[in-house]
Amino acid sequence: MKLKLKDIFNWLKNIYGLFLSFVNITYKTCNDKVDLFYFYCQSIFPQKKIWIFDACDYGNLGDQAILYAQIKYLKKAFPNHRILISPISRFSQIQKNISKITKHEDLIFLQGGGNLGNYYLRAENIRREIVTLLPENKIILFPQTIYFSNDANGQKELLITKQIYNKHKHLLLIAREATSYNVMQKNFNCPIILLPDIVLLLNYSNNQTIKYRNGCLICLRNDIESILKKQDKEYIYYTLLSQFDKKDISFTDTIGQNSYRGVLSKINHFKEKKLVITDRIHGMIFAAISGTPCIVISNYNYKVSGTYKWISHLSYIQYINKIEDLPNTLKKLDLSQNYFFNNDTIWKEYSTKLIPTIQQL
């Protein structure tokens, strides 16, 4: 009997589906033209797919942790989907092919973080392009902080984002703190929900690899988001000398190796310390998920203070608005205890809010 081309194609699809059931790799990054061909091949087959086209591939360990937590969450929430990831640095190379390699039923997830606004326009412009290029797909923005500056440029860029987002019929925005939620509600007509930063779904506090904590780690910004002056940082350092020897005070940042290995290394670095002082949102979160005592200092906007509200019940994480409050706060912290981070309520927030909202998009 002569086989038709359609029969051969269906047979190949079935074989491929069987192959996928045995393959443990559930996502692929697009780093070159070979991987673009790989994406084309993926688009042929019927398995349900999830795409992330703006994945972090730079050395911000907070954003790297977000990407890892996103993948971990998506694997659990959508076990029958294939997860395909293209890094943000390669977007221009894949941009013109996005509509060809995706199907309307594919889910599109956008990287979470704190770059929705005019301070990080490269990331925002790429999001705008994805929303524009895929008008029929369900698009979900993982928890973000929104911040458009209150000046002519900020308001101009906000208007552009509003015009693009409000045209999309199946867009879901997720705010990671209350202020962003209110700003999104005011400016966008799509569904909006409030969920904590997705890195809080991770938990390393019960890992026994670190047996002994010693010293204090200072993890402070040195960019446009910092509000601390040189004399403020000196005040922090000399205040810590009242409780720690000079040799036991060290400095770090949440910038490092562009990989999950770099994230894990940083978290383990935090776990080695009795105390962390930080004004970085993921400095605070790394301390929380590793059970490390931490004093958090406010930054230029509401993303740190807003995120802190999700974990304010943790006695080992303390937030201060003024560095003058550091000495008294330092006295309140018990640095001798072993702390455990329970994120069951965070998982519950995601399971009860996110999946039902996506289904209704």
Burial of 13 (C-beta count, 10 Å sphere; 0-12/13-18/19+): middle
pLDDT at res. 244: 95
Strand partners, 175: 144, 194
> Confidence band (pLDDT; 50, 70, 90) for 22?
very low
Least Cα distance to 244 among 330, 159, 183 occurs for 330
Q: What is the DSSP string of 314-333?
A: -TTEEEESSGGGHHHHHHH-
Instruction: Output DSSP code: residue 74.
Output: H
Q: Which two tokens stand for residue 329?
A: 């706060």
Instruction: Output DSSP code: residue 95.
Output: G
Least Cα distance to 145 among 305, 284, 35, 357 occurs for 305
* Structure-token match 């956008």, residue found: 110
Q: Where in the chain are the domains? A: 24-201+346-360, 216-332
Pick one of 3.30.70.590, 3.90.470.10, 3.40.50.2000, 3.60.150.10 as the CATH number of 216-332. Answer: 3.40.50.2000
Q: What is the DSSP string of 102-144?
A: --TTSEEEE--EEEEESSSHHHHHHHHHHHHH-TTSEEEEEEE
pLDDT at 31 over 50: no
Question: Could you give the angle at which helices 152-165 and 121-133 cross, rounded to 10 degrees?
Answer: 20
Please give the model's pTM, rounded to 2 decimal places: 0.88
Q: Which residues contact 100 (CB under 8 A, 6 or more apart)?
A: 40, 43
> Confidence band (pLDDT; 50, 70, 90) for 13?
low
Task: Look at the domain 24-201+346-360 and name its fold.
Answer: Rossmann fold (3.40.50)
Q: How many Å apart are CA 54 and CA 87, to the nearest integer? A: 5
pLDDT digits (tens, 9 = 90+) for 104-143: 999 999 999 999 999 999 999 999 999 999 999 999 999 9
Topology match between the domains 24-201+346-360 and 216-332: yes
